[in-house]
Structure 1
Amino acid sequence: MDKRPFDPKTDRIVTVTLDPNTITSVDPDEVHEWRIASYDLIDNNRFYPARVSATGPYALHLSIIQNHIVLDVRHPETFKPIAAHYLSLTPFRSLIRDYFRIRESYYEAIRSASTFQIEAVDMGRRGLHNQAAELLIERLKNKLVMDLETARRLFTLICAVQPYAARVPEQDSQLPTILFVCSMNSVRSPIAAALARKHFPGHIIARSAGVRSGKVDHFVHEVMEEIGIDMSVHTPHTMDELVASSFDAIITLADDAKAAVDARGLQAQTMEHWPLEDPAEAEGTRETVLAAYRRLRDQLDARLREALPNMLELAQKSG
């Protein structure tokens, strides 16, 4: 396939999100690592998916499935899927190990070595990045098209998130699964799933979805940041993207969500309907709207603290 010239206005990634179930950490150094890698990639890149009619710019959503990183390209506003590709980590293992080894040598050299030694280590680091970038371009040939600098930055991001690849695959996990569904997976269901993960870390797999496609809501980011939850990793998903049809618990948060779950025939040991007002419909000043989002957050927080222990107990007994 012949590559076309890059259009700097459309052939680029403008946002990067991560799957909070498979790529998550409470270690501030690890969070800082993938945040910086994401920002660097967004800041300067040339990128487009091959063999698709959609035009950019693009959103890139990353998730871990066994020994693969899934590169999920989406529309940056609607988050409608455009193309998804599985990238095996096996060919990159030695390069990733060398990346961390050289990175530590570089930081050590900055602290105590001469300028000549720093330059020597930096040259080795650049050489490793070029080698990895060329391998990345080759492995994604005819799938995702990017220039060398973009491949270098993407490799850095892969290094930042790859430690999570050793996790137990979700489909093989014995943890109870809970699905939250609302209208557009922009406000109510992602907040509920994030709160569930916060209160029961390592004890559940919490997913969220919408009846139809929604957009990122920055008021959600703001009110969740207030309680220490980073929602910048969230990408809205629709029910059509669900792989599973059976869960330990399903909680619907809007009337159209309940109707859609019933129509789709999704099954769960426990199904509850919590119809909550959508704060995105609130009118008034910015503070008035934020207050509506905080009320929703706090309502969900209290209800989940009360309801989820019983749901988890039922799931364990039936399991």
Structure 2
Amino acid sequence: MSRERVLFVCTHNSARSQMAEGLLRALHGDRYEVYSAGTVATRVHPLAIEVMREIGIDISGHRSEHLDVYAGEPMDYVVTVCDAARESCPYFPARKRILHHSFPDPSAVEGTEEERRAAFRQVRDAIRDWLETTFAENARTAAQRA
């Protein structure tokens, strides 16, 4: 059985989309082939790598990529995880669904290192909860059709 392809899109492809990619791959990698990109490529944020490692997911090998890398690539789901990406993202077709769920930008949080780390943890956990609900349901629906 071929896996459905999912592309997560965020502005900088540094935190939210990277965490979403790592989480969905860990949760349902047997069902989904997962990618992430940004409207502006930067770097994977070190705190995103750190908080993902805390839950046993290694995204240290991820690279921040520009959305253009996936132009012309067929995707089953295209998911924007921030409002800015939704607004500035050129139309990117999806064979099944285009989804949007905006998560706060943990990179924008100012404060102590521990306060910033806590913001990354909160966003990581919110993304995980949303993915478990959204993509587990998609997996169940597809299995029922098979």
> TM-score, normalising length from structure 1?
0.43
Counterpart AA for 1:213: A
1:210 aligns with 2:31: no
Kindly provide the CA deviation profile for residues 126-171 of structure 1, in whole angstroms up to 9, marking residues without a partner as x: xxxxxxxxxxxxxxxxxxxxxxxxxxxxxxxxxxxxxxxxxxxxxx
Structure 1: 5+ residue runs without aligned partners? 1-172
Choose which of 25, 45, 54 in structure 2 pairs with 1:226.
Answer: 54
SS in structure 2 of the partner of residue 186 of structure 1? coil
Within 5 Å, which residues of 2 pair with 1:121-136? none
Tell me whether 225-234 or 239-248 shows the greater mean CA deviation: 239-248
Task: State whether residues 106 and 119 of structure 2, in contact with CA within 8 Å, keep that contact through their aligned partners in structure 1.
Answer: yes
How far apart are 1:250 and its partner, in Å? 1.6
Structure 2 CA distance for partners of 1:255 and 1:315, relative to 1, 3 Å: farther
Q: Per the alignment, do residues 316 and 209 of structure 1 end up closer, same or farther by CA in structure 2, a change over 3 Å counting? A: farther
Distance 1:318 1:176, change over 3 A: farther
Could you report, residue by residue, the CA deviation over 1:182-219 in whole angstroms, capped at 9, with x for unpaired residues? 01111000100100011113221011110111123111
Q: What displacement does 1:311 show? A: 2.3
After superposition, the C-alpha distances for 1:6-40 in whole angstroms (9 at most, x for unaligned) are xxxxxxxxxxxxxxxxxxxxxxxxxxxxxxxxxxx
Which of 279, 282, 290 in structure 1 is aligned with 2:109? 282
Q: Identity percentage over the alignment?
A: 30
In the TM superposition, 1:289-304 aligns within 5 A as: 289-304=116-131
CA change 1:212–1:318 in 2 (3 A) is farther
The aligned runs of 1:30-69 (5 Å cut-off) are none
Residue of structure 1 equivalent to 2:100 = 273
Q: Which digits, 9 at most, give the CA deviation of each residue in 1:264-297, with x for residues without a partner?
A: 3422412211111110000110000000000000
Higher Cα radius of gyration: 1
**Corresponding residue for residue 29 of structure 2:** 201
> CA–CA distance in 2 between the matches of 1:234 and 1:253?
17
User: Shift of residue 232 of structure 1?
Assistant: 1.1
Whether the 8 Å CA contact 1:186–1:214 is kept in 2: the answer is yes
Residues 102-121 of structure 1 mapped to structure 2, 5 A cutoff: none
Residues 246/259 of structure 1: CA separation in 2 closer, same or farther (3 Å cut): farther
* Match in the other structure for 2:10: 182
CA RMSD of aligned residues (A): 2.0
Whole-Å Cα distance in 2 between the matches of residues 243 and 304 of structure 1?
24
Q: Which runs of 5+ in 2 are unaligned?
A: none
Counterparts of 1:289 and 1:311, CA distance in 2: 33
Higher strand share: 1
Aligned: 1:237 with 2:72: no
**Residue 310 of structure 1: how far off its partner (Å):** 2.1
TM-fit CA distance, 1:230: 1.1
One-letter amino acid matched to 2:114: E
SS in 1 for 2:25: helix
Contact 1:178 1:206 in 2 (8 A): yes
Choose between structure 1 and 2 for higher RCO, CA contacts under 8 A separated by at least 6 residues. Answer: 2
Q: Deviations over 1:75-96 (max 9, x none)?
A: xxxxxxxxxxxxxxxxxxxxxx
Q: Distance in 2 between matches of 1:195 and 1:289?
A: 20
Change in CA separation of 1:316 and 1:271 when aligned onto 2, cut-off 3 Å: farther
